[in-house]
Amino acid sequence: MQPPKFIDSRCPSRSPSTRPTTRRTFLGDSLGTTVGIASTLGITSTLGIASTNGLASLPTVGAFVSGSDHLRVGLIGCGGRGTGAAMQAAAADRGVQIVAMGDLFADQLASSARLLARDLGAQFACPPERQFIGDQAYKMVLDAGVDAVLLTTPPQARPLHLATAVSQGKHVFCEMPVAVDIAGVHQVAAACALARATKVSIVSGLCFRSDAPTVELMRRIHAGSIGHPLAVRVGAAIGLPWRKAQPTWNSREWRQRNWISFAEFSGGDFVEHHVHAIDKALWAFGDACPVSVVGSRLPNQPNAWSIGNCLDGVAVRYLFADGSVADASCQRAERFGSRVEETVFGSKGRCDLRQPVSRNGEQGVGHHAAQTPNRYQAGMNVFVQAVRLNAPVQDGDLMCRSTLAAIMGRLAAESGHRLMWDEIACKQKTAPVDSRYV
């Protein structure tokens, strides 16, 4: 069996080389060299359009795919991330309208609809008859005349939703990770292949790929600012996720409401939380795929208020063909605050991926201070521009590669065995797809 396309490809979908640069001095002990820096920190997508700030609407030009001046967007998954994504889609272009919504739970949808109606004005064009509840809500949203959809459910449902949306020719913004198991990644990879063939855009929630300071820092790494990258270390020790409870919920609903704490819905902490850090590790190595993975569980921490089955910490080492390594670990515990490391070690120095370059070209000011525009908004700008200009963006390789790497790390830690990338990537186990979560 041949590996799927994402195994060996080097996805150029958001290449930093397309961005204009000027000459500035890049200061700091880790990257003591002079290289180009983007002349503006407004994100420039592969479509060549710059947004001047994170929340300003882009000018509408021409007609959208439906032949009107409006881009009809459906929201599938109406939790906090979904509500935020809908607001960002509306901010990306004044022609965007949120016209359909779907969620498993009526109260969650109602809360989201109230917020969107309050904040979006005429861009919220979703009457009650296009607000759908239940396990078939995603189908109803897709059948509601939408041009594009935002997939922001828990990751367990994303393979089914993505495949269905692409089969109907809908453009897709898909949050990460895209699956919780190997079979799900392959289902997503097949949908992405269809999207490429039919010129349907798929933009992932890998928001750092659209974050101008991070993009510039990665460009400098690839240009040799710290020499040849030899190792990456990405680790997170963080507190517990939310815990929700109501006396009227049965055990099944309680688990679904607290999906982040249950591996069958989230993929586990290492997959659900750490996929963005793992993506940055692969990105630093030029989006190379590892050859093999070894891993182990970290000792349990006392968690008096914990729930679910995701609390075993995971430590993983990815090994690459050129001898470089990436060490990734993730652990959640009640007593943890937030301790995060994302470091690239090169033959001539090191750099901190959480402190990208600032406006004046310096590193070390802290990511949040350097973050202009908002990285989530920048990613949504890419999506809306792609659909508006009929210039498809294909993030399939990126999101499948990073999700598979995260799942592979979790499996290596659970089994205690070395896993080979090609063997895992080609293993298409059939598994039932649970559509109960929208």
Residue 187 has pLDDT above 80, yes or no: yes
Helix (H, G, I), strand (E, B), or coil: what is residue 71? strand
In 3D space, the residue among 340, 343, 341 whose CA is nearest the CA of residue 229 turns out to be: 343
* Residue 263 shares a structural domain with residue 189: no
Residue 233: beta bridge partners? Answer: 327, 343
**pLDDT bucket at 309, cuts 50 / 70 / 90:** confident
**Whether 294 contacts 418, CB under 8 Å:** yes
* Residue 181 shares a structural domain with residue 256: no
* Residue 157 shares a structural domain with residue 121: yes
Domain membership of residue 425 (yes or no) is no
**Lowest mean pLDDT across 257-266, 353-362, 425-434:** 425-434
Mean of pLDDT over the chain: 82
* Residue 58 shares a structural domain with residue 200: yes
CATH number, domain of 293, equals: 3.30.360.10
Buried b (16+ CB within 10 A) or exposed e, 407-431: bbbbbbbbeeeebebeebbeeeeee
Q: What is the pLDDT of residue 428?
A: 60
Looking at per-residue pLDDT, the higher value among 105 and 339 belongs to: 105
* Residue 132 shares a structural domain with residue 154: yes
Q: What is the pLDDT of residue 429?
A: 53
Q: What is the pLDDT of residue 37?
A: 15
CA separation for the pair 212, 209 (Å, rounded): 8
Q: What is the pLDDT of residue 357?
A: 62
At 196-222, the pLDDT tens digits run: 999 999 999 999 999 999 999 999 999
* Residue 160 shares a structural domain with residue 252: no
Domain membership of residue 430 (yes or no) is no
Q: What is the DSSP string of 253-274?
A: HHHHHTGGG-HHHH--HHHHTT
% the chain with pLDDT above 90: 69
* Residue 204 shares a structural domain with residue 231: no
**Lowest mean pLDDT across 246-255, 260-269, 311-320, 368-377:** 368-377
Q: What is the pLDDT of residue 94?
A: 95
Q: What is the pLDDT of residue 299?
A: 79
Q: What is the pLDDT of residue 66?
A: 54
**Lowest mean pLDDT across 28-37, 302-311, 379-388:** 28-37
Residue 56 has pLDDT above 80, yes or no: no
DSSP state of 170: -
* Residue 152 shares a structural domain with residue 269: no
Looking at per-residue pLDDT, the higher value among 321 and 17 belongs to: 321
* Residue 53 shares a structural domain with residue 173: yes
**pLDDT bucket at 48, cuts 50 / 70 / 90:** very low
Q: What is the pLDDT of residue 350?
A: 95
**pLDDT bucket at 39, cuts 50 / 70 / 90:** very low
* Residue 319 shares a structural domain with residue 391: no
Looking at per-residue pLDDT, the higher value among 238 and 91 belongs to: 91
In 3D space, the residue among 136, 83, 90, 127 whose CA is nearest the CA of residue 108 turns out to be: 83
Helix (H, G, I), strand (E, B), or coil: what is residue 157? helix
Domain membership of residue 271 (yes or no) is yes
Residue with tokens 């790494």: 221
Residue with tokens 């009640």: 334
* Residue 336 shares a structural domain with residue 235: yes
Q: What is the pLDDT of residue 44?
A: 24
**pLDDT bucket at 399, cuts 50 / 70 / 90:** very high
Across the beta sheet with 71-76, the strand order is 131-133, 96-103, 71-76, 148-151, 171-174, 202-204
**pLDDT bucket at 55, cuts 50 / 70 / 90:** very low
Q: What is the pLDDT of residue 15?
A: 33
Domain membership of residue 239 (yes or no) is yes
Residue with tokens 């921490």: 301
* Domain with 341 in it: 227-363+402-420
Domain membership of residue 378 (yes or no) is no
Residue 113 has pLDDT above 80, yes or no: yes
**pLDDT bucket at 52, cuts 50 / 70 / 90:** very low
Domain membership of residue 415 (yes or no) is yes
At 317-354, the pLDDT tens digits run: 999 999 999 999 999 888 767 889 999 999 999 999 99
**Whether 293 contacts 319, CB under 8 Å:** yes
In 3D space, the residue among 54, 82, 94, 125 whose CA is nearest the CA of residue 384 turns out to be: 94
Domain membership of residue 375 (yes or no) is no
* Residue 58 shares a structural domain with residue 154: yes
Q: What is the pLDDT of residue 35?
A: 23
Domain membership of residue 340 (yes or no) is yes
**pLDDT bucket at 25, cuts 50 / 70 / 90:** very low
CATH number, domain of 125, equals: 3.40.50.720
Looking at the 3D structure of the chain, how many domains does it have? 2
At 234-257, the pLDDT tens digits run: 999 988 888 999 999 999 999 999
